[in-house]
A and B are shown apart, each in its own frame.
Chain A
Amino acid sequence: MKISEICDILEGEIICRADLTDTQVNAACGSDMMSDVLAFVKEQATLLTGLVNPQVVRTAEMMDMHCIIFVRGKRPTLQMIEMAEDRDMVMICTELEMFTACGKLYSAGLRGGSGK
């Protein structure tokens, strides 16, 4: 699924790197605990989170993620946006809650990982 399709499904707003929204995403992981995210192994995954601090971007960086989605109307800080721009990551904001956002993406065919 393309990042642009994810944004449409979540009625989201692109915050940065709109030039990269054709990038393909194969899986998704939703969590506010970054250590849980770091236990998740999947190629080309996207992160859904309600957490707002620079470690969200660092965690996505370590996991080679290309897209971070902020749920529940959370907004990344300017510092976070600059970090994401440098790392070629798209940021999306949605007003949807975590459960609803994950459910919509799952219904559209996006899957989680095994966590192994």
Chain B
Amino acid sequence: MEESIKLHYIVPGDDFTRAGAASGDVKRTLKELGVSPAVIRNVSIAMYEGEINMVIHANGGEIDVEITGEDIIMTLRDEGPGIENVELAMKEGYSTAPDNIRTLGFGAGMGLPNIKKYTDEFSIDTELGVGTTLNLRVHIQ
């Protein structure tokens, strides 16, 4: 791949049923590009968890995806409440999601740990009252 491919998505915050549409689109794009199934799965799961987080915690946000010959770089940006304690949020099983989210199958405290698990590079920029940005990278080879 000589030139990188850039994709941009707006994740609406008010429709839980549509959460994951952007991740599904990226998955289909990577498939068409012939990226290996294992890499596609890692990217899709990490992005999907991020997308769900945006809907649960931040009333939506925006996602930029850049596909180069070597990496898939995802930037997930929201203007939500920010994460008070990143170290705690990274612990499996820790969740601040409301109970109604658990009835929908999420809020088990696995979101950020899963995102970290499925990416090669992972960082969080967060500020209370301002928002959160996740910077994710998955190597293609």
Binding site for A on B (CB under 8 A): 16-17, 19-20, 23-24, 27, 37, 41, 44-45, 48-49, 52, 102, 104-111, 113-114, 117
Q: How far is the CA of A58 from the CA of B27 in the complex (A)?
A: 11
How many Cβ-Cβ contacts under 8 Å join chain A to chain B? 72
If over half of A's interface residues share one DSSP class (helix, strand or loop), that class is named, otherwise mixed; here it is helix
Known: A38-B110, A61-B24. A32 touches B105 (CB 8 A): yes
In the complex, the answer to whether A63 meets B49 with C-beta atoms within 8 Å is no
In the complex, the answer to whether B106 meets A35 with C-beta atoms within 8 Å is yes
Which chain B residue lies CB-closest to A116? B117
In the complex, the answer to whether B48 meets A62 with C-beta atoms within 8 Å is yes
If over half of B's interface residues share one DSSP class (helix, strand or loop), that class is named, otherwise mixed; here it is helix
Binding site for B on A (CB under 8 A): 32-36, 38-39, 41, 49, 51, 53-56, 58-59, 61-64, 79
Q: How far is the CA of A34 from the CA of B48 in the complex (A)?
A: 11
In the complex, the answer to whether B48 meets A56 with C-beta atoms within 8 Å is no
Known: A38-B48, A39-B114, A39-B117. A63 touches B105 (CB 8 A): no
Q: Please give the distance in Å from B51's CB to the nearest CB on chain A.
A: 9
Q: How far is the CA of A55 from the CA of B108 in the complex (A)?
A: 14
In the complex, the answer to whether A51 meets B105 with C-beta atoms within 8 Å is yes
Which residue of the partner chain, among A33, A49, A56, contacts B108 with CB atoms under 8 Å? A33
Q: Please give the distance in Å from B48's CB to the nearest CB on chain A.
A: 5
Which residue of the partner chain, among B41, B44, B105, B111, contacts A55 with CB atoms under 8 Å? B105
In the complex, the answer to whether B105 meets A58 with C-beta atoms within 8 Å is no
Q: Please give the distance in Å from A39's CB to the nearest CB on chain B.
A: 6
Q: How far is the CA of A79 from the CA of B114 in the complex (A)?
A: 27
In the complex, the answer to whether A38 meets B37 with C-beta atoms within 8 Å is no
In the complex, the answer to whether A62 meets B20 with C-beta atoms within 8 Å is yes
